[in-house]
Structure 1
């Protein structure tokens, strides 16, 4: 089947679904996750550093004593020790 003269190119997921020897998870994981590993690593690094920056911002002296800070009591208890 073609759409406006373009041929349907096979994708890794469609190639995996044609084989029925293994379960669906075994078929999709290697071929779909293999090209995605750099994005997964970059995403996890980004989440880690955003959480670290958020924690540093919440614990900064300017906002540590702010009553609207949900972590104010926790910060006060940890700095008292």
Structure 2
């Protein structure tokens, strides 16, 4: 297409360490974020994007 040839260059073989490192970093940051949102200081804060559900009441 447009005079370009498809050269058989390897892409995944030399890039796998960077892809694995990116996946591990993403996983680690997600775990740290969820752990930090459960700290008692921020658990009940109105700034918390994932608030806990209020306790169920049995007032019937």
Unaligned runs of 5+ in 2: 56-60
Larger Rg, first or second structure (1 or 2)? 1
- Give the CA deviation at 1:36: 0.1
CA displacement at 1:76 relative to structure 2:
4.0
After superposing on structure 2, the runs of 4+ consecutive aligned residues of structure 1 that deviate more than 3 Å are none
Q: What count of residue pairs does the alignment treat as equivalent? A: 52
Correspondence for 1:50: 29
TM, length-normalised to structure 1: 0.55
**Contiguous gaps of at least 5 residues in structure 1:** 1-13, 19-26
Q: TM-score, normalised by structure 2?
A: 0.71
The answer to which structure has the higher strand fraction is: 1
> CA-atom RMSD, angstroms?
2.3
